[in-house]
Amino acid sequence: MLSGAKVIDLTIPLGSAIVMWPGAPAPEAETLVTVQHDGYFARRVSFFEHTGTHFDAPCHFIEGRASVDQIPAQSLVRPAVVIDISARVGSDADAVLTLEEVREFEKAHGRIPDGAAILLRTGWEEFNTDELRYAGAPGDLRFPGFGVEAAKFLVEERKAAGLGTDTLGIDPGIAVDFPVHSQISHPAGLWHLENLQNLKSLPALGAWVVVGVLPLVGGSGSPARVLALIP
């Protein structure tokens, strides 16, 4: 079934130039050994758990809930549902996915299957090398995200396994109290993927997403290699 599958990489390469959540430390890499000097090359790297294309575990917002290493592998390979609102969002940094848009999506494509990864394409990935445009100004974060009603519907009525987006966060930048993270998705045990890219290459339905997240023991999240398979 997968022999002819197309593989799409949804991951931003992870290096020191990556746009961070304002105030979070940039990743660092230190060369420890080199081929010329030691016969082999290796570095020590350090990164904030929520760097670049990354995964949020429920314990990121809810104490005592699952950490990254406790997420079952089964939950990391999911049918992908791609809701594309980029045409409507345009340059509106405060746009959110509405419940009406989810219903329109189902009218056009059929019912969203239970247990899917819901990936929101806002078009914001276009700005992911421009800190001010992608994140907003320090103290005034501005980027699109999931609206509360839409998130509630996807979590409660469509039993989503996870939510993903091509912006810095699932909650829009203006939602300073993170209502989706703190009241809807993480309390229900869902994971998130943030700072995805290449969502434009995926069909609305029919692809699979494979979340290659590091199983950091006790981790609140981790950079992840996120791949989509189109059968």
Chain residues that interact with Zn ion, rule: CB under 5 A: 50, 56, 194, 221
Query: What is residue 68's three-state secondary structure?
Result: helix
Cβ closer to Zn ion: 223 or 229?
A: 223
Cβ closer to Zn ion: 48 or 101?
A: 48
Tell me how far, at minimum, the Cβ of 21 lies from Zn ion, in Å: 8
Nearest to 58 by CA among 190, 217, 195, 214: 190
Cβ closer to Zn ion: 61 or 105?
A: 61
Tell me how far, at minimum, the Cβ of 202 lies from Zn ion, in Å: 21
- At 161, list the tokens: 């396994």
Query: What is residue 107's three-state secondary structure?
Result: helix
Cβ closer to Zn ion: 60 or 152?
A: 60
Tell me how far, at minimum, the Cβ of 18 lies from Zn ion, in Å: 13
Distance in angstroms (rounded) separating the CA atoms of residues 116 and 191: 11
**Residue whose C-beta lies closest to Zn ion:** 50
- SS3 of 141-166: ECCCEECHHHHHHHHHCCCCCEEEEC
Tell me how far, at minimum, the Cβ of 229 lies from Zn ion, in Å: 24
Distance in angstroms (rounded) separating the CA atoms of residues 95 and 91: 9
The DSSP code for 26 is: P
